[in-house]
């Protein structure tokens, strides 16, 4: 099912939700969902017979700092019966880093949401156990945020693509091939 068909079908089940198709390099069906309607959309994807996405395979986040909205929470769902996958993305602004939990819909989300909160600072409203999972309880900050302070102070630098001749490239490949024997 492509993104347009998925959105049309979801719009019937959750008419108040806003959807948007998303580009995908791996050709996996990907859509953006409004964060306010995420739990309702997740429930529809799990319960409707034409979807039956019964398994949450992955839940993570991406920090696009300094762009706004800064974060995207990414859900990868699997329908084991239909052997289908879909990727949901939820945009989250930096000033209000809250998303509704889906741990009541897919129990596997419990620990995954804790991990995203622990490392990115995305708060999952209604989560049953919002404790740190990977970092110590007294840890300050969220290590996977792009503005998280690190100990090494280096000025940002840009580089150009490596320019080699065709002969140099072939010689390098041959040298690597011989080394692997």
Q: For the chain, which residues make up each domain, given as ranges?
A: 3-152
State residue 86's pLDDT score.
95
When the candidates are 3.40.50.150, 1.10.10.10, 3.30.460.80, 3.20.10.10, the CATH number that belongs to 3-152 is: 3.30.460.80
State residue 153's pLDDT score.
64
Global pTM reads 0.79
> What average pLDDT is seen over the chain?
90
Task: Give residue-wise pLDDT tens across range 125-140.
Answer: 999 998 888 988 888 8
30-33, strands of its sheet edge to edge: 19-21, 30-33, 84-92, 71-79, 55-63
| Residue 156 pLDDT class (50, 70, 90 cuts) | low
Distant-in-sequence contacts of 45-50, Cβ < 8 A, 24+ apart: 45/10, 45/77, 45/86, 45/88, 46/105, 46/106, 48/13, 50/9
| Residue 55 pLDDT class (50, 70, 90 cuts) | very high
């Amino acid at each position: 099912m492509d993104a347009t068909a998925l959105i049309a079908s979801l719009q019937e089940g959750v008419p108040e939700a806003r959807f948007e198709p998303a580009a995908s390099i791996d050709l996996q069906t990907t859509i953006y969902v409004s964060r306010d309607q995420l739990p309702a959309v997740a429930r529809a994807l799990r319960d409707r017979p034409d979807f039956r996405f019964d398994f949450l395979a992955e839940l993570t986040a991406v920090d696009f700092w300094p762009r706004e909205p800064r974060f995207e929470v990414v859900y990868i769902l699997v329908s084991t019966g239909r052997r289908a996958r879909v990727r949901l993305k939820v945009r989250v602004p930096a000033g209000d880093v809250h998303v509704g939990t889906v741990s009541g819909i897919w129990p596997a989300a419990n620990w995954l949401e804790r991990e995203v909160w622990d490392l990115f600072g995305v708060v999952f409203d209604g989560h049953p156990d919002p404790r740190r999972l990977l970092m110590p309880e007294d840890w300050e900050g969220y290590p996977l945020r792009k503005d998280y302070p690190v100990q090494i102070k280096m000025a940002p630098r840009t580089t150009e693509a490596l320019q080699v001749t065709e002969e140099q490239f072939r010689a390098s490949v041959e040298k690597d091939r011989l080394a692997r024997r």
